[in-house]
Structure 1
């Protein structure tokens, strides 16, 4: 199969779908790989490093979209490139179709394309193997990110995240005890930070408590619990997501208004619409804004802050699926692997799942 790796197009997106090592695995399996010039530069991979393992360098989007039957992207196809998409072409990436403009889905459907959303690839046990390492990275970035945002020059309260003798730590509230929330809680608790984790799943709360060796407070996520913890929080991390859907708005604007002046909100769920009512997408170049006196950080592609680590982790997770699809084709691979099937939104322009069918009906 001919496989193409385009440059990412989202603001401040520096990740690349496969490293040179991953490309080499595809080449030795008999596939042809085209890499758009500069696609790996943000993660520290040169065009020469891809050429050295057998990739062909494509100079411009016209060539890269014309070459690839399977497009391994980071963030899908930009709108100005949609006319280049061909019938039967597979567009793979962190597509987040639940929040993708309907005109984009319509254009992909009209082109007869297929889509594979990395975040929707999900095994029978509920694990999303390609999203998982990105969630782990996002969670593990939370302590250093929160520490930076709390600093006075960043616009925060001027509070040290960790405790010092005679002065307590900042108070952190994490909404969601999934992969992001669990990794974040582990990091904060390791730093000695007073951390409260809320979730509606008691099993997840038990797991977080065990991982953190009891050094966190866990609470069932109810409206009254949120109303109790938010006014005391120095940092609130929104890490609640719903498969195939928009994130629920757990924190209202009225709740945000009860928080301390210059406290911090980090809405990790912003790539699926956000779980804080006052959140709107920002970028790594311009990551924060004030709303109701609270500093908001809502960058959709948080792992891109450590693009090289993220690219290696994504390569490790994505490569087995890329190899299977390249050797069997998307439809046959989906028939043999339920995880791949769950990631498909469109198949040759037709809705493959009910949530995409509903989106097209209402577009």
Structure 2
């Protein structure tokens, strides 16, 4: 049972859970979210788990494409004289890049879709054309999804709920036995029909399409995930412990971006916007900017 005055520094994903957000507000703890801490444009405490989830996604997708798992029976890399699997990755961030690289390494044809043209140019240059890149819009997504054997969703808006970019109508155009892996499920998912699943029961069918929406995908490889996460988080934890949460946040704007709630009020705009209707929140009473919290700490 958390209580007022305690510091909670962990993955929170509050924008995807009204229940967790309400518990944070009721307990009045100081809640720092790994997933919204920034360093420039990067998310240093989310990146390790994004890399793990991204590398796992094509492996999970390839397994569930096998006929024994209900999939279409397409091999990712094919063999000479047969077609390779078509893989579409929506979102070209850390997780999306990792997913694309592994899928391409398995021999699949890979398309990466992203809204940021500079990011697409970076991916094209870095991977020397091994990943096809497409600008994100409804038409490009619909056309790519229709021809995909495997769609991997890795869309991220830091702290906010993931946008639903793949509609049910798009999925209906896919071949029977196609697979969709939603890495963004911890932030609510980026497919219209996504709902959280577990490692013990990872998939479900919508029509004849397979959805893999496991929350906390890195939990499936805990040795790797724990070491990678500790490498990233320990320096921040040491600073919070030695300087106090307010002192550490005052000296690091990127760490301050991790403050999601304090003393019963939300401090992250993305979380507030996602939860305001669900929890009937009032901005004047339930939201205080980080700068104001630190000024009065």
Alignment TM-score, normalising by the size of structure 1: 0.73
Mapped contact 1:346–1:356 kept (Cα < 8 A): no
Structure 2 residue 210 is the aligned partner of structure 1 residue 303: no
Q: CA deviation at 1:293?
A: 1.3
Aligned pair partner of 2:257 in 342, 347, 360: 342
Structure 2 residue 158 is the aligned partner of structure 1 residue 270: no
- 2:65 maps to which residue? 150
Structure 2 residue 38 is the aligned partner of structure 1 residue 122: yes
Q: How does 1:45-56 map to 2 (within 5 A)?
A: none
Q: 1:295 to 1:107 in 2, by over 3 A?
A: closer
Structure 2 residue 1 is the aligned partner of structure 1 residue 88: no
Secondary structure of 1:144's aligned partner = helix
Mapped contact 2:162–2:189 kept (Cα < 8 A): yes
Which is bigger in relative contact order (C-alpha 8 A, separation at least 6)?
2
Q: How does 1:58-69 map to 2 (within 5 A)?
A: none
CA distance in 1, matches of 2:71, 2:172: 16
Q: 1:189 to 1:107 in 2, by over 3 A?
A: closer
Secondary structure of 2:68's aligned partner = helix
- 1:178 maps to which residue? 93
Specify every segment of 5 or more residues in structure 2 that has no aligned partner in the other structure, as ranges: 282-297
Q: How does 1:96-111 map to 2 (within 5 A)?
A: 96-101=13-18, 103-111=19-27
Q: 1:104 to 1:215 in 2, by over 3 A?
A: closer
Mapped contact 2:159–2:268 kept (Cα < 8 A): no
Aligned residues: 278
Moved more, 105-114 or 141-150: 105-114
Q: CA deviation at 1:87?
A: 1.5
CA distance in 2, matches of 1:303, 1:185: 17
Mapped contact 1:185–1:212 kept (Cα < 8 A): no
Secondary structure of 1:214's aligned partner = coil
CA distance in 2, matches of 1:158, 1:279: 23
Mapped contact 1:175–1:236 kept (Cα < 8 A): yes
Secondary structure of 1:210's aligned partner = helix
Q: For residues 257-303 of structure 1, what are the alpha-carbon distances to aligned partners after superposition, in whole Å with 9 as ceiling and x for unaligned?
A: 11110100001111111111011111110001110311000012111
RMSD: 1.6
Specify every segment of 5 or more residues in structure 1 that has no aligned partner in the other structure, as ranges: 1-83
Q: CA deviation at 1:355?
A: 4.2
Secondary structure of 1:345's aligned partner = strand
Which of these two proteins has the greater Rg computed from alpha carbons?
1
Q: CA deviation at 1:351?
A: 2.9
